[in-house]
Amino acid sequence: MGERQLILYRRGALCFFAAALLLALLPVLNQARAQLGLSASIFRSVAALVLTERTAEVPILLYHHITEEPGEGGAVSVEIFNEQMTALVEAGYTAVTFADLDAFVSGDGALPDKPILITFDDGYESNYTHAYPILKEHGLKATIFVIGVSVGKNTYKETGQAMIPHFSWEQAAEMEASGVITIESHGYDLHEVAGLDEEPIRLGILRKEDESLEDYRTFLNEDCDVMQALFQEHLGKSVSVTSFPLGKNDLLSQLILVDNNMIATLTTVAETNRIVKGVPQSLHKLGRYAVGEKTDLIRLLGE
């Protein structure tokens, strides 16, 4: 972990403790306010101001494949995806990036009134052919998490087994250059399938039962290194955000990713995130709402 990152994490831990302490003390302070005969409205206004200035509520959407026909198994059709993006804009949401969240946490930037992140896992070609033009049309931004070993492929690794086509590095570079899409990591080779990969298969990013701690650290560090090299070669940038394959994670995997300079990590837990200024930890293990063909997006977001 770099010196700056270590300093930020130590500072963040203190801020996180202070924020938790403040939240815990609010009922006590309110009771004291009542005993002193102070205005409840003033107390609520001050408390709200403190929390609003330091925190932001940020929902994150999770998509995968965009299809021409009605989607199945988590896929979303072009028609429905377009309707969902229209609904977001009409509801006043502004699509932001992880760089925007990082700037907010570090105190170098502000977030809009209704921020939202739109994400895609896996890097399917349909993200390029269908989602990208729709996002551009609506003035929205999104982040796509690619599986390194699958970029530009339509068969699974070296098996010859057909799979949904994935966009190429050239297409990734085009989207990245547009400013509409940010490309990030879903791991180089962290997806294993029973019957196609060597048994016992790994469950996402997690350590195997019979794997030594040293072997696991070496494995995950090497996977990160390969992705960093590919990103530098094809996109001219470093990886800074990782989406956990299958959403699986633990403390060890999280620490290794932080040590590989990840500013944010994402799960598949369905929850809205509270981002806190001065607390870089609030950008890790972020929750996301999986969106399907029949998802009422605005209702899902509590509108």
Query: What CATH number is attached to the domain comprising 275?
Result: 3.20.20.370
Residue listed under structure tokens 């570079």: 173
Q: What pTM does this model have? A: 0.85
Could you tell me if 277 and 104 are in contact, meaning their C-beta atoms sit under 8 angstroms apart?
Answer: yes
Reported in sequence order, the residue ranges of 259-303 that DSSP labels E, i.e. its strands, are 264-266, 273-276, 289-290
Handedness of CA 83, 84, 88, 94 (dihedral sign): negative
Structural domain includes residue 38: no
Could you tell me if 200 and 209 are in contact, meaning their C-beta atoms sit under 8 angstroms apart?
Answer: yes
Structural domain includes residue 18: no
Structural domain includes residue 223: yes
Could you tell me if 265 and 242 are in contact, meaning their C-beta atoms sit under 8 angstroms apart?
Answer: yes
Alpha helices in the chain (DSSP H): 3-36, 40-54, 78-90, 98-106, 125-126, 132-138, 169-178, 213-235, 251-259, 297-300
**pLDDT tens, position by position, for the chain (303 residues)?**
445 554 555 555 555 555 555 555 556 556 655 666 656 665 454 444 455 578 999 999 999 999 999 878 889 999 999 999 999 999 999 999 999 999 999 999 999 999 999 999 999 999 999 999 999 999 999 999 999 999 999 999 999 999 999 999 999 999 999 999 999 999 999 999 999 999 999 999 999 999 999 999 999 999 999 999 999 999 999 999 999 999 999 999 999 999 999 999 999 999 999 999 999 999 999 999 999 999 999 899 987
Give the model's pLDDT for residue 53. Answer: 72
Number of structural domains in the chain: 1
How far CA 71 is from CA of 64, 65, 80, 296, in Å, comes to 11, 8, 9, 15
Structural domain includes residue 292: yes
Q: Dihedral through CA 287, CA 149, CA 169, CA 98, nearest 10?
A: 20
Give the model's pLDDT for residue 41. Answer: 60
Structural domain includes residue 29: no
Structural domain includes residue 83: yes
Domain that holds residue 224: 56-300
Could you tell me if 303 and 88 are in contact, meaning their C-beta atoms sit under 8 angstroms apart?
Answer: no
Structure tokens at 171: 């297409």
